[in-house]
Amino acid sequence: MEFILATTNKNKLSEINNIAIDYGINFKLPNSDFEVIEDGNTLYENALKKARCLSIQNNNCYILSDDTGLFVDALNGAPGIHSARYETTAQKRIQKLLNALKNEENRKAKFICSMVLLAPKGNILFKSQGEIEGYITTSTEGINGFGYDPIFFIKNLNKTMAQLSFQEKNTVSHRAKALIPILEFIKTHIL
């Protein structure tokens, strides 16, 4: 029984596998170059598109896919579903976002992660969504994580996502909140 994660992002794979290890599940990256144009109107549409694309190439495997966005109140939800394409590199995306919020007092934001699990023949088995609320800082803080983590501040933890240990992040993150119900489903209905 093989589980493939519809991504080329090794950081995302590592994060997901660190959560899934307690369930005895290990996700793998696709064997071939995997690239999908994320042109859906929602995170779920993009996640499903990636999963279905990969399912066609790997019709004997379970496919897990996600799409994640950072939604900033002062920017009417931007970068939102375009978070990964907001700029060409993580550093440029962070700088563009900080520049866009330069004179803003309202820095409230939330990460949302939408996930879908497909059966070996491509049927949708489970879909889930997780989110976490926070604030965008004025500068980067911390060295852990990836993407927007260094500027996403979680008030009740008094840290940015990048200041959290991997164990801390994997208990509170939007991705963990979306993933755990899927792992429970796999444990109960597949393994």
pLDDT of residue 110: 98
Decide: residue 136, CB within 10 A, 0-12 exposed, 13-18 middle, 19+ buried: buried
pLDDT of residue 58: 83
Active site residue 73: no
Tokens of 161: 């996502």
pLDDT of residue 34: 79
Positive or negative: CA dihedral 83, 81, 155, 115: negative
Rg, Å, the chain Cα set: 16
Whether residue 57 contacts residue 104, with contact meaning beta carbons closer than 8 Å, is answered with no
pLDDT of residue 7: 92
- Show the beta-strand stretches assigned E in the chain: 3-5, 27-28, 62-72, 79-80, 108-118, 124-136, 152-154, 159-160
Could you write out the DSSP letters of every residue in 21-35?
GGGT--EE--SS---
pTM over 0.85: yes
- Tell me the backbone φ, ψ of residue 2, rounded to 5 degrees: -120, 140
Assign domain 3-189 to a CATH class: alpha beta
Taking alpha carbons only, the member of 69, 87, 74 closest to residue 136 is: 74
Taking alpha carbons only, the member of 88, 67, 68 closest to residue 149 is: 68
pLDDT of residue 89: 95
Instruction: Choose, from 22, 67, 73, 149, the residue flagged as catalytic.
Output: 67
Whether residue 171 contacts residue 165, with contact meaning beta carbons closer than 8 Å, is answered with no
Each of the 191 residues of the chain gets a pLDDT tens digit; together they read 899 999 988 999 999 999 999 999 999 999 877 788 999 999 999 999 999 999 988 889 999 999 999 999 999 999 999 999 999 999 999 999 999 999 999 999 999 999 999 999 899 999 999 999 999 999 999 999 899 999 999 999 999 999 999 999 999 999 999 999 999 999 999 99
> Which residues are CB-neighbours of 98 under 8 A, at least 6 positions away?
136, 138, 139, 151
d(CA 157, CA 38): 33
The helix (H) or strand (E) run that includes residue 52 is helix 43-57
The amino acid present at 44, given as its one-letter code, is: Y
Which DSSP letter does residue 143 get? Answer: S
d(CA 144, CA 162): 4
